[in-house]
Amino acid sequence: MRNAYLRTIKRMGSRKINIIDLFTGMLGESKNISIKKKSKTVKSNGLKTIKKFEVKKLEILDINGNCNKKLMPKLSKEEIKKLYEFMILSRVFDEKALNLQRQGRLGVYASMRGQEASIIGSAYALKKDDWIFPCFRENGALILRGYPMHQLFMYWGGDERGMQVPNNVNSFPISIAVGTQTLHAVGAAYANQYMNKKVANIVYFGDGGTSEGDFHEAMNLAGTFKLPVVFFCQNNQYAISVPRSMQTASETIAQKAIAYGFNGIQVDGNDVFAVYKAAKEALDNARNGKGPTLIESYTYRLGDHTTSDDAKKYRNEKELNEWLKKDPIARLEKYMRKNKISNAVYEKKVLENSSRQVDLAVKEYESTPLQNPEEIFNYMYSELTPELKEQQEEMLKNLKEENES
């Protein structure tokens, strides 16, 4: 990364002292600790500086579709179109899921709206052999990786067969429990490192997930053993109703990587080029034995936390309208039109094609036969154990007796 073009958010210096009461990842002012900014330095009292740190932010594409060419990643016009097409497909999927939920045809659903650049830009940087560890807002990333859309609808409709991951898709199941997937990703990365596989893992979580102990344990292990994993934080400003300002005293989430001995960077999460560039560099480093990276994707969810939430109760319309101006899809469209990559005819065609794909997926989801009761035992292990087989037979016997009575 050419640091000369990256905006420095904060500089930090560590001093050697006898007693430090310093919470993990929160390198703020404490007794005898100096924080260096561009123009002001707190007195060091003659203490030796051990190491200095910086936190940078990567921004390439602005809200008007103007691009910093010096930072622009190598992407062909066709690749830029692919990014756009997957972002549109993600939004169409999202809108359909919300409508289905309101009609009682899906269960609780977590929207991706406003975070398409963050989700698609990062997933596009993955190679086929890499692994993805999603939380619950990465449907677009799974679709990009080849996950069948009808299975995602099945999952959100309460059918666990939707998370029977196809063999050709390197993905762990969606994780609803906050932060636990970070440990799974690190464990898998440790296995890949042990087997000398040149494979990287990416694990997704929100800003709220960084307050979980699992996150810190995973970061510590990854840093200690230089594991091939990328921690991707979708900082959408709210952990349900808890604002980012009440989540941590750290000026950035990216700086939490410093405490664990590896790099952290903040990116404009509504800028698909910046997200892709940061993710690609981090994943390349992971595959090449250079250890983990924490990426803080600074974005915003335009919808509610889930369909069981009402964001109007904790955020105002003015804030929402400001972020609507930063819509990641509108931003990319402006760039593509300015560079003659897109036009109204193409955009209409993409939207129609996406709608057709999603409608077909809904039809397949709703025409899938209901699960047989005995199948609850079939997916615990790759093969049915004798104990589960016995339980299954007993359950079927009981059901038969109930039906005959």
Active site (catalytic) residues: 301, 305, 314
Give me the sheet containing 131-133, strands edge to edge. Answer: 7-15, 49-58, 263-268, 293-298, 229-235, 201-206, 131-133
Tokens describing residue 375: 């199948």
Helices (H) and strands (E) counted in the chain, each on its own, are 11, 9
Structure tokens at 244: 């980012």
Cα angle for residues 144, 145, 148 (degrees, 5° grid): 85
> Helix/strand/coil (H, E, C) string of 10-22?
EEEEEECCCCCCC
Burial of 346 (0-12, 13-18, 19+ CB in 10 A): middle
Return phi, psi of residue 2, to 5°: -80, 100
H/E stretch holding 286 reads helix 272-287
Distance CA 81, CA 61 (A): 15
Per-residue DSSP letter, 106: S
Backbone angles phi, psi at 370, to 5 degrees: -65, 155
Give CA angle at 228 (222, 230), nearest 5°.
Answer: 80
